[in-house]
């Protein structure tokens, strides 16, 4: 049998399977912790830092830290919420994001978080970094202006032999996601779609289908990010109770 542990989130008693990551454990207990670089079923990267919580007074990322017996976790505090906002604001100023013109508007997790956090204007100056658009691949349109460098594509999309198709190139401010020339050439429709789907923003798009779902019918058009899954989870739990 799976071992259970008990811990608290903002003083609320919670239980979860030992070894599960704090984000997942929280979700099981009906608590949403915002994430961005995390993607279900893929090894967490812990790079965006949006999911930062405090565990026994220390800042840790909820997507990479397993729960343990007796942990005291803080999620919804003024300090942490401000730090999360700041991360989202930083991403908006690092890239060049023009939501109204973006194919992913309404499906974009960055945009959705900004709405959820009610961000009006970033506290940081826009950096106007020069970024390229790479439309040279047969299936994929790759707009680096919108990339938030979450590495989701790198981790989730591999070829049939497990080789990387996307890479993290260079370092520091110069890091960019790069698509393998050869593997990009032969990319299957299925993997191309997957790449678009795992991309939280509008950086990886499959050519010619960007507006397939009309605006208004998109994921976060009516329900803010974070509420869907928690309500789902909650109804799930209630079913169990019955």
Partner 1 sequence: MTTTEIQTVLKKFRNDKTRLVDILLEIQSENGFISKQKIETIAEGLDISEVDVEQTMSFYHFFSCKPRGKYTIYLNNSLVAMMKGREKVADAFEKELGCKFGEVAEDIGIFDTSCIGMSDQEPAALINGKVFTNLTSFRAREIIRDMRKGMEVEEMYANTFGDSKNSSKLVRSVVRNHIKRTGPILDQNFQTGKILQKQLALMTPEEVINEVKRSHLRGRGGAGFPTGIKWEFCRRATGKKKYLFCNADEGEPGTFKDRVILTEKPEMLFEGMVVAAYAIGASEGILYLRYEYSYLKDYLEDVLDKMRKDGNLGKNPAGIKDFNFDIRIQLGAGAYICGEESALIESAEGKRGEPRNRPPFPVEKGYLGFPTTVNNVETLCSVVKVIQNGGEWLRNMGTKDSTGTKVLSISGDCLFPGIYELEWGFSINTILEMAGAHNTQAVQIGGPSGALVNPDQFDRILCYSDLATGGSMIILDESRDLLKDVVMNFTDFFIEESCGSCVPCRNIPTLLKNKLTRILEGKGTMKDFEDSQNWANMMQINRCGLGHTAANPIITSLENFRHLYEDKIQKHKDFDSGFDIASAVAESCEFVDRDPNI
Q: Name the residues that contact ligand FES, by CB under 6 A.
A: 35-38, 46-51, 61, 63
CB of 134 to partner 1, least distance (A): 14
Q: Give least dist CB 229 to partner 1, A.
A: 23
CA distances from 109 to 88, 101, 123 (A): 10, 16, 20
Partner that binds at residue 35, options ligand FES, partner 1, none, CB closer than 5 to 8 Å by kind = ligand FES
DSSP state of 179: E
Residues 60, 170: contact at Cβ < 8 Å?
A: no
Reference 104, options 190, 194, 199; nearest CA is 199
Q: Give residues in contact with partner 1 (CB under 8 A).
A: 44-50, 52, 59, 61, 64-66, 83, 86-87, 90-91, 93-94, 123-125, 127, 148-149, 151, 159, 161, 163-175, 178-183
Q: Is 84 exposed, middle or buried (0-12, 13-18, 19+ CB in 10 A)?
A: buried
User: What values do phi and psi take at 183, rounded to 5?
Assistant: -65, -30
Quick one: 68 or 135, whose CB is closer to partner 1?
Answer: 68
153 touches, from partner 1, ligand FES, none (C-beta below 5 to 8 Å by class): none
Residue 127 interacting partner from partner 1, ligand FES, none (CB closer than 5 to 8 Å by kind): partner 1
38 contacts which partner out of partner 1, ligand FES, none, CB within 5 to 8 A by kind? ligand FES
Of 138 and 215, CB closest to partner 1? 138
Residues 6+ apart with CB under 8 A from 60: 22, 52, 53, 54
For residues 12 and 104, give the distance between their C-alpha atoms in angstroms, rounded to a whole number: 36
Binds 160: which of ligand FES, partner 1, none (CB < 5-8 Å by kind): none
């Amino acid at each position: 049998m799976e071992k259970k542990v008990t811990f608290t989130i903002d003083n609320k008693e919670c239980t979860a399977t030992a070894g599960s990551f704090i984000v997942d454990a929280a979700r099981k207990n009906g608590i949403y912790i915002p994430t961005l670089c995390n993607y279900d079923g893929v090894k967490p990267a812990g790079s965006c830092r949006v999911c930062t919580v405090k565990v026994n007074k220390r800042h840790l990322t909820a997507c990479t830290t397993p729960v343990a017996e007796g942990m005291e976790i803080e999620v919804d505090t003024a300090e942490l919420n401000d730090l999360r906002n700041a991360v989202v604001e930083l991403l908006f100023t690092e890239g060049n994001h023009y939501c109204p013109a973006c194919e992913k508007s309404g499906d974009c997790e960055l945009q959705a978080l900004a709405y959820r956090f009610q961000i009006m204007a970033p506290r940081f100056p826009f950096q106007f970094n020069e970024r390229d658009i790479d439309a040279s691949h047969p299936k994929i349109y790759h707009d680096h202006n919108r990339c938030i460098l979450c590495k989701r594509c790198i981790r989730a999309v591999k070829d049939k032999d497990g080789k990387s198709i996307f890479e993290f190139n260079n370092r520091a401010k110069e890091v960019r996601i790069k698509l393998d020339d050869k593997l990009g050439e032969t990319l299957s429709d299925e993997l191309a779609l997957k790449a678009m789907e795992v991309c939280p923003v509008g950086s990886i798009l499959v050519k010619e289908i960007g507006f397939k779902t009309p605006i208004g019918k998109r994921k976060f058009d009516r329900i803010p990010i974070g509420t869907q899954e928690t309500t789902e989870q909650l109804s799930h739990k209630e079913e169990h109770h019955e």
